[in-house]
Chains A and B, each alone.
Chain A
Amino acid sequence: MKKFKYIRPNNLKDACSILKRENDIKILAGGTDLLVQIKDRMKTPENLLDITYLSELRVIRNNSNYLEIGALSTHQDIIDSDLVSNNAGILQQACIQIGSPQIRNRGTIGGNIINASPAADTLPPLFTLESELILISESGERTVKIKDFFQGPGRSIIEPNEILKSIRFKKHSNWLGHFKKLASRKALAISKLSVAGLFLVNNGTIDQARIAFGAVGPTILIGKDTVALILNKKISSISEKEISDAVIKDISPISDLRSTQEYRKAITTILVQRILQNLMKA
């Protein structure tokens, strides 16, 4: 491990000015991604800015018809939040499947987003919630739609001097959400593939639908064709073959050490089917 300077800011403003001042600096939140990368010499920053004590970033609050989640909220904070369970249960479904108790107590939603892994589990739900990310720097705040945020594995449009302050999305209290993840073991395993689906269903017909896929492309992928297929249809009228055709158009999986392209294609379809079956039961 390369040595680094450890900096702890007093407040958010302080953090922003340090970020502007220092070159080669990385933000440290829970460290469950970053410290692993530093240990493996995949990242070798000169400076680490530890923001974990900035409690203003660890809030989950109502903001008129939005829910706002501070970037430092841990996965466990999200699991424990009634606000989230009433308005975005799908996000909890993802958080509860992350890592292990230790990782969920330490890892933050902000870190999960900025690390920008295509397999990050909170991302497909955040896509279906049409989340917006609030970024802050010395020069002020800006808001970005999550679908415009990612550029590839590990890459996003965040600037080196910016901090992710919070995530916000509209409350989705009447929506039915399902997140399904497949991994090689029951805990401490990165997704081979994941599917999030958020729906408004009326009498067995899908009025609104949003679908997002994890780990089957360079970033999270939106299920455009799949949504187009199922929208305004009776769930029972959609055939397996149709779903499979649409899903395969939506995703672009590769083979890597977590799974094969073939398997990912086949099983993503199955997970979508299962989600639709669950909707029928509801």
Chain B
Amino acid sequence: MSFIGKSIQRIDAVSKVNGSAKFIDDYYFDSMLYARIFRAPVPRGRIKNLDLSAAEKLAGIKGIFTAKDIPGANIVPVVEKDQPLLADEVFNFAGEAIAIVVADDPDIAEEGVSLIKLDYEELPSILTIEDSINKTVPDICSKPDNIFSHYKIRKGDFEKGFKSSDISFEEEYKTGYQEHAYLETQGMIAVPNPEKTITVYGSMQCPFYVQEGVSEITGYPLSDVRIIHTTTGGAFGGKEDVPSIIAGFASVPAVILNKPVKMVFDRAEDIMTTSKRHPAWIKFKTGFSKAGKLLAIKVEFYFNAGAYSTLTPIVLWRGLVHAMGPYACDNIHIDAYAVATNTVPCGAFRGFGTPQVIFACETQMDIAAEKLNLSPIDLRQINILKVGDSTGTSHDLDESVGLEKSLHLAADGIDWKNKFIPPSEKTGRKRRGVGISTLFYGVGLGAKGGMLRRAGAFIQVYRDGSVNVAVGTTEMGQGSNTVFAQLTAEALGCSPDNVTILPIDTSRVPDSGPTVASRSTVMTGNAIRNAADQIKHYLLLGASELSGKPEEAIELIDGRVLTAGNELKISFIDVVEHCFNQRYHLTSQGWFKAPSTSWDDDTGLGNAYFIYSFVTNTAEVEVDIETGEVEVLNLVSAEDFGQPINPKMAEGQIEGGVIQGMGYGIMENLYSEKGIFINPGFSTYLIPTTMDVPLVKPIIVNEGYSKGPYKAKGLGECPLMGVAPAITNAIYNATGIRVREIPALPELIIKQKKE
């Protein structure tokens, strides 16, 4: 293989560094207008009157639009169709959109927003998981009992499991919000076309979701809605479903006024009103034999979904599937609930419902190891999934399980043998400790992903040997376009330099599902291979005709033509030229359907995902025992995501994700007062800066997956998820202070120390 496992330079590196990459706010269209949003002031209320008169009189205002002006349906289509684009009659969270104000200039639009007068009756609201469970206010959402979704796993007999356990214990855990903090805020430009079609440009993960959203809102058929992806400055799940809303805000005025409309959020608005990682409350009970075998797991957990269900059902389901951790256990009983509150709707965030349960599960394992007098490594060694084992949902694993390897590599990477010393032996003000966590993660959308589990690709080879590739999953900073160029080059036998990955355009590729769930490399990668194979067939035929050698004896590698390892005088370009002269078809459509999965809602058992990635994280911290300040010194992440296509970029993904996970674990905290976030900016919502970044050691554990493109699996989300418990377990090892809540701020650690 010539380009698989090669760290070629990112194809967008130069444009990102020199600033020539064009983000949505850099675009301008002739006679473009600007939209700003008028929003609900309190968590729940009934609109009595909306007085637009003062705003409408302001010079430069081009229109103000409310629910009744929406030409199509007033819905944001995600899983359920319960969320309106603009609140009509009632609003259900502070910051919910009520009107779109459009002007010649964004400042005038903002001024217009400030002139709107809303007369409303405040309705009783629910702001916390506890109140939602207790139904302090009944029926705040479209589903009964304030519960959007409930999923369960019933495997074996957990009561018997606990009875036969030598030790068992239950703990409660809490996790907070996390903001995506992508550098580029949400933004879209809707451009109406003369023939009553619309083109929408913008920053997003899922162009096909946006296409559906704009189609609903405008009433245009899908064929008349074209979405073009622009360079996207980070997403992390925050641009999965939300961009459909932003596109709606731009499209409604665009089609009514017949002018291009730009809608770009400012940072505070973005933090206050768009999706977050779900806060969680988790009750976790585990039982073990004396020897350390996991015999029973019982979990009950709740996610704060916010006011609308958005992606919550599938986030919750993913949390359910992973809640028992990467361990073989015969008796499992899990109930997962997503409850409604009058707060911002939560949604997708790198890890999609699993970092919360991993935090609980991996803290349980740490507590158990101490109770059992086993090292956390040994306890995991006894229980982790290996080839031949069955996951918590009874998925028999027959290949590509690199967890055991990763366990030992991560332990060695942090020098566990020498550094793991019980907290009781530590003295002094600054105390060091190490911690570990292990996890598995289903690649792709899984059994609940329905018909979205497919992807397309389109390849066209031009006469001069240059190649265009159109795909349906987006580059948002993770490097997928570079991976796609490598995969194309490998499959066709050309150089990646000759491959251009086109901006995603829904008119060019079939609906390929969302760019989420660490699925792009496997899904689009396989679609590219499928497309390339069709062209390769002609290239080999052409090469054979030109050289007189049999097709089977010919290899195309990096633009060269070889037989039996010897380079022929003809090149890739000669072959292409010949194929053109022969009128061979060097254009193709590729398609890939995900390998099969299964699921039974009554038992919660099945092959939930077609394949899993595996990670072990280790952390070393130094804790100031007096102030509770935690300095993370070292983070090691050993990850099995199959064959790395571009190892350097994979390491970059790991480094970034690990730091994001560290922020989640010990720093990032959204504060709200009466249901309104009060720190919606980067000076108050603190994420790690480069000064806080410890030494990060990425380790690639390559356990190939036979159905992946060149044996690759998925990586995108893996690095973030298990970092928080590795750090909090290290805090315990340093200090003897057990943290059951994240973020583990110094204030919490000191409070916990006193208890």
Contact residues of A with B, CB < 8 Å? 1-3, 36, 40, 100, 182, 184-190, 257, 259-260, 262-263, 266-267, 270
Question: Does B28 belong to the interface (CB within 8 Å)?
Answer: no
Within 8 Å by CB of B746, from A187, A257, A263, lies A263
Contact (A2, B691) CB under 8 Å given A184-B686, A263-B746: no
Distance A6 CA – B137 CA, assembled complex (angstroms): 52
Within 8 Å by CB of A185, from B628, B692, B751, lies B692
**A266 / chain B contacts, CB cutoff of 8 Å:** 750
Question: Does B268 belong to the interface (CB within 8 Å)?
Answer: yes
B629 contacts A182, CB within 8 Å?
yes
Question: Does B747 belong to the interface (CB within 8 Å)?
Answer: yes
Contact (A263, B747) CB under 8 Å given A2-B107, A40-B268, A257-B671: yes
- Expressed in whole angstroms, the minimum distance between the Cβ of B31 and any Cβ of chain A is 22
Question: Does B679 belong to the interface (CB within 8 Å)?
Answer: yes
What are 24 A-B pairs at a CB distance below 8 A?
A: A1-B107, A40-B268, A100-B689, A182-B629, A184-B745, A185-B667, A185-B689, A185-B691, A185-B692, A186-B689, A187-B689, A188-B683, A188-B689, A189-B686, A190-B683, A257-B671, A257-B678, A257-B679, A262-B751, A263-B747, A263-B750, A266-B750, A267-B626, A267-B627
Distance A134 CA – B223 CA, assembled complex (angstroms): 70
B626 contacts A270, CB within 8 Å?
yes
Distance A263 CA – B268 CA, assembled complex (angstroms): 28
**A187 / chain B contacts, CB cutoff of 8 Å:** 689-692
B751 contacts A186, CB within 8 Å?
no
Which residue of B is nearest A190, CB measured? B683
**A270 / chain B contacts, CB cutoff of 8 Å:** 626-627
Q: Report the 9 A-B pairs with minimum CB-CB distance, sorted nearest first.
A: A186-B691, A187-B691, A263-B747, A257-B671, A184-B686, A270-B626, A187-B689, A260-B747, A257-B679
Distance A257 CA – B691 CA, assembled complex (angstroms): 22
**B628 / chain A contacts, CB cutoff of 8 Å:** 263
Other A-B pairs beyond A182-B627, A186-B689, A187-B692, 7, CB < 8 Å? A182-B629, A184-B667, A189-B686, A190-B683, A260-B747, A262-B751, A263-B628
Instruction: Mark each residue of chain B from 701 to 719: 1 if its CB lies under 8 Å from any CB of chain A, else 0.
Output: 0000000000000000000
**A259 / chain B contacts, CB cutoff of 8 Å:** 747
Distance A185 CA – B43 CA, assembled complex (angstroms): 31
Question: Does B375 belong to the interface (CB within 8 Å)?
Answer: no
> Which among B107, B671, B747 has the greatest number of chain A C-beta atoms within 10 A?
B747
- Expressed in whole angstroms, the minimum distance between the Cβ of B102 and any Cβ of chain A is 18
Question: Does B684 belong to the interface (CB within 8 Å)?
Answer: yes
Q: Is the interface of A mostly helix, strand, loop or mixed?
A: loop
Distance A90 CA – B73 CA, assembled complex (angstroms): 64
Contact residues of B with A, CB < 8 Å? 107, 268, 626-629, 667, 671, 678-679, 683-684, 686, 688-692, 745-747, 750-751
**B629 / chain A contacts, CB cutoff of 8 Å:** 182
**B626 / chain A contacts, CB cutoff of 8 Å:** 267, 270
**B690 / chain A contacts, CB cutoff of 8 Å:** 187
Which residue of B is nearest A271, CB measured? B627
Total A-B pairs in contact (CB under 8 Å)? Answer: 47
- Expressed in whole angstroms, the minimum distance between the Cβ of A83 and any Cβ of chain B is 28
> Which among A190, A259, A263 has the greatest number of chain B C-beta atoms within 10 A?
A263
- Expressed in whole angstroms, the minimum distance between the Cβ of A16 and any Cβ of chain B is 31
Distance A162 CA – B44 CA, assembled complex (angstroms): 46
B746 contacts A185, CB within 8 Å?
no
- Expressed in whole angstroms, the minimum distance between the Cβ of A158 and any Cβ of chain B is 24
**B746 / chain A contacts, CB cutoff of 8 Å:** 263
**A40 / chain B contacts, CB cutoff of 8 Å:** 268
Which residue of B is nearest A267, CB measured? B627
Which residue of A is nearest B670, CB measured? A257
Distance A186 CA – B691 CA, assembled complex (angstroms): 6
- Expressed in whole angstroms, the minimum distance between the Cβ of B631 and any Cβ of chain A is 9
**A182 / chain B contacts, CB cutoff of 8 Å:** 627, 629
- Expressed in whole angstroms, the minimum distance between the Cβ of B743 and any Cβ of chain A is 10
Distance A188 CA – B682 CA, assembled complex (angstroms): 9
**B268 / chain A contacts, CB cutoff of 8 Å:** 40
Which residue of A is nearest B688, CB measured? A185
Distance A270 CA – B678 CA, assembled complex (angstroms): 29
B747 contacts A186, CB within 8 Å?
no
Distance A266 CA – B628 CA, assembled complex (angstroms): 11
**B691 / chain A contacts, CB cutoff of 8 Å:** 185-187
Which residue of A is nearest B672, CB measured? A257
A257 contacts B627, CB within 8 Å?
no
**B678 / chain A contacts, CB cutoff of 8 Å:** 257
**B750 / chain A contacts, CB cutoff of 8 Å:** 263, 266-267
Which residue of B is nearest A184, CB measured? B686
B747 contacts A185, CB within 8 Å?
no
- Expressed in whole angstroms, the minimum distance between the Cβ of B697 and any Cβ of chain A is 20
**B107 / chain A contacts, CB cutoff of 8 Å:** 1-3
Which residue of A is nearest B626, CB measured? A270
Distance A71 CA – B686 CA, assembled complex (angstroms): 30
- Expressed in whole angstroms, the minimum distance between the Cβ of B475 and any Cβ of chain A is 29
Which residue of B is nearest A100, CB measured? B689
**B688 / chain A contacts, CB cutoff of 8 Å:** 185
Distance A189 CA – B689 CA, assembled complex (angstroms): 10
- Expressed in whole angstroms, the minimum distance between the Cβ of B364 and any Cβ of chain A is 28
**A188 / chain B contacts, CB cutoff of 8 Å:** 683, 689
Which residue of A is nearest B663, CB measured? A185
**B671 / chain A contacts, CB cutoff of 8 Å:** 257
Distance A185 CA – B688 CA, assembled complex (angstroms): 7
**A257 / chain B contacts, CB cutoff of 8 Å:** 671, 678-679, 684
**B627 / chain A contacts, CB cutoff of 8 Å:** 182, 267, 270
Distance A185 CA – B143 CA, assembled complex (angstroms): 42
Distance A270 CA – B625 CA, assembled complex (angstroms): 11
Distance A70 CA – B105 CA, assembled complex (angstroms): 40
- Expressed in whole angstroms, the minimum distance between the Cβ of B614 and any Cβ of chain A is 31
Which residue of A is nearest B684, CB measured? A257
Distance A160 CA – B230 CA, assembled complex (angstroms): 47
Which residue of A is nearest B681, CB measured? A40
**B745 / chain A contacts, CB cutoff of 8 Å:** 184
**B747 / chain A contacts, CB cutoff of 8 Å:** 259-260, 262-263
- Expressed in whole angstroms, the minimum distance between the Cβ of B127 and any Cβ of chain A is 17
- Expressed in whole angstroms, the minimum distance between the Cβ of A221 and any Cβ of chain B is 20
**B751 / chain A contacts, CB cutoff of 8 Å:** 262-263
Which residue of A is nearest B747, CB measured? A263
Distance A188 CA – B667 CA, assembled complex (angstroms): 13
Which residue of B is nearest A2, CB measured? B107
Distance A40 CA – B683 CA, assembled complex (angstroms): 13
- Expressed in whole angstroms, the minimum distance between the Cβ of A263 and any Cβ of chain B is 4
Distance A187 CA – B686 CA, assembled complex (angstroms): 10
Distance A67 CA – B268 CA, assembled complex (angstroms): 42
**A3 / chain B contacts, CB cutoff of 8 Å:** 107
- Expressed in whole angstroms, the minimum distance between the Cβ of B701 and any Cβ of chain A is 31
Distance A239 CA – B686 CA, assembled complex (angstroms): 36
Distance A260 CA – B678 CA, assembled complex (angstroms): 15
Which residue of B is nearest A260, CB measured? B747
Distance A181 CA – B107 CA, assembled complex (angstroms): 39
